[in-house]
Structure 1
Amino acid sequence: MDLLLLEKTLLGLLAAILGAIFISKLRGKRFKLPPGPIPVPIFGNWLQVGDDLNHRNLTDLAKKFGEIFLLRMGQRNLVVVSSPDLAKDVLHTQGVEFGSRTRNVVFDIFTGKGQDMVFTVYGEHWRKMRRIMTVPFFTNKVVQQYRFGWEAEAAAVVEDVKKNPASATEGTVLRRRLQLMMYNNMFRIMFDRRFESEDDPLFLKLKALNGERSRLAQSFEYNYGDFIPILRPFLRGYLKLCKEVKDKRLQLFKDYFVDERKKLGSTKSLDNNQIKCAIDHILEAKDKGEINEDNVLYIVENINVAAIETTLWSIEWGIAELVNHPEIQAKLRHELDTKLGPGVQVTEPDIQNLPYLQAVIKETLRLRMAIPLLVPHMNLHDAKLGERLGCGSYKGLGVFMFWIGFGLKIIPQS
């Protein structure tokens, strides 16, 4: 009986493999697919490439297969483009066709299957979420409204480092203080709230949950179940932990921030001269029926992930590179002392008059990209990409973008 069951299982597996190969051949006739390493049944290129899809490994593959190539990761097909022209094609020329994001089992949990803005399917909901988030986050008016708060937070970091005598001799772990600064910057914009110190219990709880969310989402531990669905039952424990972390985070956002702001709005109405924080705009959209309560919480989720840690990484790398390149640090200090005066803090209006500072920032972003591959894009319908190379594209392809060696270099001052 056991042998009969085993025989049926093996025959079924063989039939599934042959069917997948046959369907792939049929679909391949519609478009010429990009080149890539030869896949093996079921696993595709996963056993060859491994979990580590970092930009350095993909650079080596691009040297072998060209500026556009295909990776078959189990049942997922990923197109990798590694030139500015192709990246522009994905992001701009065919921005609508490739406007969606590829998701996975873990991101489906953390985003409520696309109830946020970043991972929602391109369409009416995406446009609505984009419009709602533009006014409170992505306008010059917001920059001018909150710049004094940002400048005060930066000044507080400098003062705190100065107050610590060990900083000058033993050094200091700057990340902790910079992390508090970034949380305060974003929570001022979102909720008109800030944390007084690194030991604030609510700050510690928020930071821990956000950190656990990032660890679970960025881990390679769940890739096998995402790439090969028949292995997904082995992820039950991992996905249960993801759901618990998601529930705790959303409940924290709701209890301590969203509901608190609602109470304040119900007891104290804002007049036209008062500054509305981001959550006020978002709650107005909810009250108008444009979005629901879950959408509000997932917007807060997006900002906690996308706006805080990525900026913190870039600041850390910028400081590290200046420490490791004292000659560039000296030139930058010379520009600041000459244009502003010794010890004078940089403010938002000063930046346009500081070309070397701008070059240092751009070179940091080029050399130490927070997300080298960007967040993968996906086409919902059949599309063509890299026509001059004779390539086409299936629908549902994840598109990774990376390009190494392009960008603004630091230009030494004369």
Structure 2
Amino acid sequence: MALHILFAWLALFLPLLLFLFSVKNSNNKKKNFPPGPPPLPIIGNLHQLGHLPHQSLWKLSRRYGPVMLIRLGGVPAIVASSPEAAREVLKTHDLDCCSRPRLVTTGRLTYDSLDVAFVEYGNYWRELKKLYVLELFSAKRVHSFRYIREEEVGSMIESIAKSAESGTLINLSQKFVALTANFTCRVAFGKALRWAEFEDGRFMHLTHEALAMLGSFSASDYFPRFGWIVDRFTGLHSRLEKSFHNLDDLYQKVIEEHRNANKSNEGKEDIIDLLLKMEKDQTEFAGLRLKEENIKAILMDIFLGGMDTAAIMLDWTMAELVRNPRAMRKAQEEIRSCVGNKKWVVEDDLSKLKYLNLVLKEVMRLHPPSVLLLPRETMDHFKLYGYDVDPKSRVLVNVWGIGRDPGLWERPEEFMPERFEESPIDYKGNYFELLPFGAGRRRCPGMSFAMATVELTLANVLHSFDWKLPEGMTERDVSIEEGAGIAVFKKVPLTLLPVKVSHEANA
């Protein structure tokens, strides 16, 4: 709808825009740009992105090559669709293109890009990244949240067990979203969504609305001179402002509660406690002095990134296992053999679950949490595969496309965890065939935070239950259709019947 309205507005500005386009085009004729689909005047290749841009870009790259130039309105964008191209972008030329473009929705929701994910490259980003890596998501900090993970997973398992006793189908997708939301809230706020302020579902609604805004089309991002008019006409501007102020009010309330609380148990310190302590002490952590807006921007990062990543991975993993019963049985046999007749899988058990690790790698190949890595922006001119790349160009890495390249993977559309059995490939940014969390300077700093939740949850879900499809369904009926958005969920929620497996509880 927004694109249709945009095209109507473009007609009003057409003469001026055609003139500017022709001037810019003549200046670029001497450069050797990457190949790509011919752009239309003004809109470039926006009309070719479709409902699922990562799939559309992958199809185009099959024709134009692993390094491709497209034009998003007035913005040039380089698309990397092979491990070699990704390596060039994320390693060889990491410093040349490690900034972020200033986008309307991300800028507003993160307090003018005061977070680590969307801020431009510079001193502020460097110091903030250190805060994330050395404090917020350090190995010690992630380990300290172990008791929260185990409590929340245990609570979810008990809830599923009640449905199993009554023979009731459950929406497993919804269970995973609730689990990750509760865990993230306890880590950040010290309170789960069961807290009275959240019982009416308000926080979940606000978070989902903010995520929808991040995936929305903003004309201002592609047509800086007049896009703001389109954004106001389509209602995006007012919707964005409402989303921002609603979340800001909620964060303000939680911060004030923490300021006024007398907290004596340092072992139960949550993320807001840590950040407020730094603010109160006027601590300069690696040169960064935190203020209230910084704290809110960090919270926005944690919620908009942390909640979705784990829930998406769990949802896709169970969907693929249900569609592939042999892999499901193999994973369950490994877990139950390792854990024995203990009631729960605990974090100490996870390192022994080799096949489960293969399953997760295969899921991240087929269904990476970020199908397109967050867009980078080039800071200087450089050569990529002999092609010119100008400053202020967007750079997109199609992780989804790399994971389905038949030149890299045998039968790429099939779910085969065993393909990683003798492979050193990991998902931590060291191998460019598998980049679910990115690589280089802008790699996701919350990777270990998300994966700790995914591994523990999945192991317990497979240990405690067998899973049956609704009556009349077969494995091939389980949908793997993707939904649209910045984070690609399953379009159709996963509904299954849990069957409780008896385990004798012992030490």
Contact 1:381 1:395 in 2 (8 A): yes
Contact 1:250 1:301 in 2 (8 A): no
SS where residue 71 of structure 1 aligns?
strand
State the shift of 1:316 in Å. 0.9
Look up the equivalent residue of 1:26 and give its one-letter code: N
SS where residue 249 of structure 1 aligns?
helix
State the shift of 1:322 in Å. 1.4
State the shift of 1:14 in Å. 3.7
Match of 1:92 in 2: 91
Give the Cα separation in 2 of the matches to 1:52 and 1:134: 35
After superposition, the Cα gap between the structure-2 partners of 1:21 and 1:167, relative to the gap in structure 1 and judged at 3 Å, is farther
Give the Cα separation in 2 of the matches to 1:334 and 1:111: 44
Look up the equivalent residue of 2:150 and give its one-letter code: E
Tell whether 2:45 aligns with 1:38.
no
Tell whether 2:179 aligns with 1:181.
yes
After superposition, the Cα gap between the structure-2 partners of 1:76 and 1:176, relative to the gap in structure 1 and judged at 3 Å, is same
Give the Cα separation in 2 of the matches to 1:310 and 1:240: 28
State which of 212, 215, 227 in structure 2 corresponds to 1:215: 212
After superposition, the Cα gap between the structure-2 partners of 1:400 and 1:12, relative to the gap in structure 1 and judged at 3 Å, is closer
Match of 1:6 in 2: none
Give the Cα separation in 1 of the matches to 2:14 and 2:337: 72
Give the Cα separation in 2 of the matches to 1:345 and 1:393: 53
State the shift of 1:341 in Å. 1.1
Give the Cα separation in 1 of the matches to 2:98 and 2:279: 24
Contact 1:104 1:226 in 2 (8 A): yes
Tell whether 2:408 aligns with 1:410.
no
SS where residue 300 of structure 2 aligns?
helix
Tell whether 2:318 aligns with 1:319.
yes
SS where residue 382 of structure 2 aligns?
coil
Match of 2:169 in 1: 171
Give the Cα separation in 2 of the matches to 1:81 and 1:56: 13
Give the Cα separation in 2 of the matches to 1:69 and 1:372: 17
Give the Cα separation in 2 of the matches to 1:119 and 1:11: 33
Match of 1:262 in 2: 259
Unaligned runs of 5+ in 2: 1-9, 410-414, 422-507
Deviations 1:85-123 (A, max 9, x none): 221222223222221122322222222331222111100
| RMSD value, Cα | 2.7
Deviations 1:200-224 (A, max 9, x none): 745611101011111222134x3x4
The within-5 A match list for 1:256-335 is: 257-264=254-261, 267-268=262-263, 274-287=267-280, 288=282, 290-335=289-334
Deviations 1:389-412 (A, max 9, x none): x21211111111121335895129
Match of 2:388 in 1: 392
Match of 2:190 in 1: 192
Greater Rg by CA: 1
The number of equivalent residue pairs is 391
Contact 2:109 2:244 in 1 (8 A): yes
State the shift of 1:355 in Å. 0.5
Match of 1:206 in 2: 203
Contact 2:49 2:56 in 1 (8 A): no
Structure ranking higher in helix proportion? 1
Give the Cα separation in 2 of the matches to 1:63 and 1:136: 42
After superposition, the Cα gap between the structure-2 partners of 1:254 and 1:339, relative to the gap in structure 1 and judged at 3 Å, is same
The within-5 A match list for 1:354-369 is: 354-369=353-368
Unaligned runs of 5+ in 1: 1-8
Contact 2:79 2:397 in 1 (8 A): yes
Look up the equivalent residue of 2:181 and give its one-letter code: Y
Point out the more displaced range, 127-136 or 63-72. Answer: 127-136
Q: Percent identity?
A: 25
State the shift of 1:133 in Å. 2.0
State the shift of 1:305 in Å. 0.3
State the shift of 1:348 in Å. 1.7
After superposition, the Cα gap between the structure-2 partners of 1:295 and 1:203, relative to the gap in structure 1 and judged at 3 Å, is farther
Contact 1:136 1:277 in 2 (8 A): no
Contact 2:209 2:243 in 1 (8 A): yes
Point out the more displaced range, 9-18 or 184-193. Answer: 9-18
